[in-house]
Structure 1
Amino acid sequence: MNKNLLSVAYFIAGFAILFAGWELASLSTKGELPSPFATMAVFFEMWSRPFYDAGPNDKGIGIQLLASLKRVFVGFGIGTLIAVPVGFLIGSNRIVFNILNPVIQVLKPVSPLAWFPLGLAMMKVSDKATLFVIIITSLWPTLINTALGVASVPQDHKNVGKAFGFSTWKYITKILLPASLPLIITGLRLSISVAWLVIVAAEMLSGGVGIGFFVWDSWNALSLEKVISAILIIGIMGLLLDKIFAVIQKKFTYAI
């Protein structure tokens, strides 16, 4: 069988099992959990008017999704601007590594929700607090992978820079960056996944507009069909973001 057709067959089989289990769960709860068919009807209804705006608490799913994506990419971008230079510094200097590594190991496992009150205390605005949470939680994979990539540059590569008398900037751009780029992009791929994961929880706390707020608002309105539809959208968008960075990662494997 053609490889692409086989992949499609596996895809269909996987979702058939998911929907069958979902239907059984719905039947066992006597309709408390919406069935796949009822949920899909709501799902497609939501996408029939994705950009309607009927007030602060009544906006289409397209508006909610775009608001979340904007926050994710802004937070991810700021986090990247912090993580890459710090990662370079940690990976290229043992003293800096010894100083900062304990701090990183303490802060890295902290739950995203634990950062929200701190962000709110500093920023005074929930939207900015959400951005703070995304930045502080998504930068760690990029920082760690950048440091690992820089520290893993072969000594022969470093000797070339010394032999040709490269300046610090030229050494970074011509040797360190190309050699560590695959690991940096791996870090970016992990970071965007973390950012997308965090946005849902943060928006549930911050309110306003966004896919996380939509989930919470739908739950308060007792519309489990909308809650499950939003979960499907979150999963699909997370998959798309990961695939985009997987393509970018593949294009830069030459730098290994």
Structure 2
Amino acid sequence: MTTSPVVRPRSRSASLLQNQNLQAIVLFLVLLTALLGIWELGVNLQIFSPVMPSASRTIADFWNWISDPFYDNGPNDKGVGLHLIASLQRVLTGFLLGSAIAIPIGVLIGLSEVISKAVNPFIQLMRPVSPLAWLPLGLGLLKSSEGTALFVIAISSIWPTLINTKFGVSSVSKDYLNVARTLGASRWRTIWKIILPAAAPSIVAGLRISIGISWLVIVAAEMIVGGTGIGSFVWAEWNNLSITSIITAIVIIGVTGLILDQLLALLQTWVSFGEK
């Protein structure tokens, strides 16, 4: 008598997930092909504005940019890769500065209800301010386009991280704190060993939002302050009426933002121990 193989639920779930992923990829390619076809047809039939390039021309120009992204023929003629690196350096520097300010303050106000209530009006006042509103102030105070870009990124990225850190710290289970107190743990040890690990998922969630805001801000800031950077590249190509180059930059900006977000999503998964 033969026994039929047992189909494990885990294997069935993995197979289902693979099928869903394959279907999603196929659907994505179908939608992309349809979008490019409508774009090409719309330009050929002169439905769109005359300044709009065709999809085929845009793809060809996109390939020209990414096939040699790091050439340098002077300050006004650089490859898109060099502009991207300059923007990433500014974003990461400003983001780290903002995080270095936001996390300690978030922990402080998360630990004290009195401090939280005292600081909250300042947070609510400055949080809705548009990042570009800080540009004139930065230029006036720092008198440096590079410093102004970092200032705007830092101050724009502070709020999501600060608010999420405060929420994570204030939401730590009282049972954890009571156990630490019973065992005689010092205040600093309790913060370092219990509060920060427990609040880490919320902190990283704030960092994930902040890095997205930083990447949005740098493009707009570089359009105004100039210099090397992906925002400056977009503005220069607009002045040259090179729409294909602008679309190339838009795609690169989107892909880079996606990668930054996914890196922090991996970090968020790593710190979210015990969560499904």
TM-score (norm 2): 0.89
2:12 is matched with which residue? Answer: none
Change (3 A) 1:46 1:165: same
Is 1:124 aligned to residue 166 of structure 2? no
1:144 is matched with which residue? Answer: 163
Change (3 A) 1:24 1:99: farther
1:205 is matched with which residue? Answer: 224
Q: How far apart, CA to CA, are the structure 1 residues paired with 2:24 and 2:262?
A: 16
Q: How far apart, CA to CA, are the structure 2 residues paired with 1:96 and 1:212?
A: 39
Q: How far apart, CA to CA, are the structure 1 residues paired with 2:73 and 2:264?
A: 35
1:239 is matched with which residue? Answer: 258
Shift of 1:97: 0.7
User: Within 5 A, what are the aligned runs for 1:2-17?
Assistant: 2-17=19-34
Local SS of the residue matching 1:52: coil
2:3 is matched with which residue? Answer: none
Contact in 2 for aligned 1:181/1:252 (Cα 8 Å):
yes
The worse-fitting range, judged by mean Cα deviation, of 117-126 and 26-35 is: 26-35
The letter of the residue matching 1:75 is G
Number of aligned residue pairs: give it.
Answer: 256
Contact in 2 for aligned 1:178/1:255 (Cα 8 Å):
no
Q: How far apart, CA to CA, are the structure 2 residues paired with 1:235 and 1:25?
A: 24
Is 1:187 aligned to residue 206 of structure 2? yes
Shift of 1:15: 2.3
Change (3 A) 1:255 1:143: farther
2:4 is matched with which residue? Answer: none
2:7 is matched with which residue? Answer: none
Local SS of the residue matching 1:202: helix
1:171 is matched with which residue? Answer: 190
1:102 is matched with which residue? Answer: 121
Shift of 1:49: 1.5
Local SS of the residue matching 2:273: helix
Deviations 1:30-78 (A, max 9, x none): 5421122111111110112111111111100110000000000000011
Identity %: 50
Kindly name which structure, 1 or 2, has the bigger radius of gyration based on alpha carbons: 2
Deviations 1:164-211 (A, max 9, x none): 111121011111001100011101111110100111000000100000
Shift of 1:11: 2.3
The worse-fitting range, judged by mean Cα deviation, of 3-12 and 164-173 is: 3-12
Shift of 1:24: 5.1
Q: How far apart, CA to CA, are the structure 1 residues paired with 2:172 and 2:35?
A: 44
1:113 is matched with which residue? Answer: 132
Shift of 1:106: 0.9
Q: Which sections of structure 1, spanning at least 5 residues, go unmatched?
A: none
Deviations 1:117-153 (A, max 9, x none): 1111111101110010000001111111000000111
The worse-fitting range, judged by mean Cα deviation, of 129-138 and 34-43 is: 34-43
Contact in 2 for aligned 1:200/1:212 (Cα 8 Å):
yes
2:57 is matched with which residue? Answer: 38
2:68 is matched with which residue? Answer: 49
Change (3 A) 1:255 1:208: farther
Q: How far apart, CA to CA, are the structure 2 residues paired with 1:14 and 1:97?
A: 48
Shift of 1:21: 4.5
1:214 is matched with which residue? Answer: 233
Is 1:71 aligned to residue 90 of structure 2? yes
Local SS of the residue matching 1:234: helix
RMSD: 1.5
The letter of the residue matching 2:171 is S
The letter of the residue matching 2:24 is S
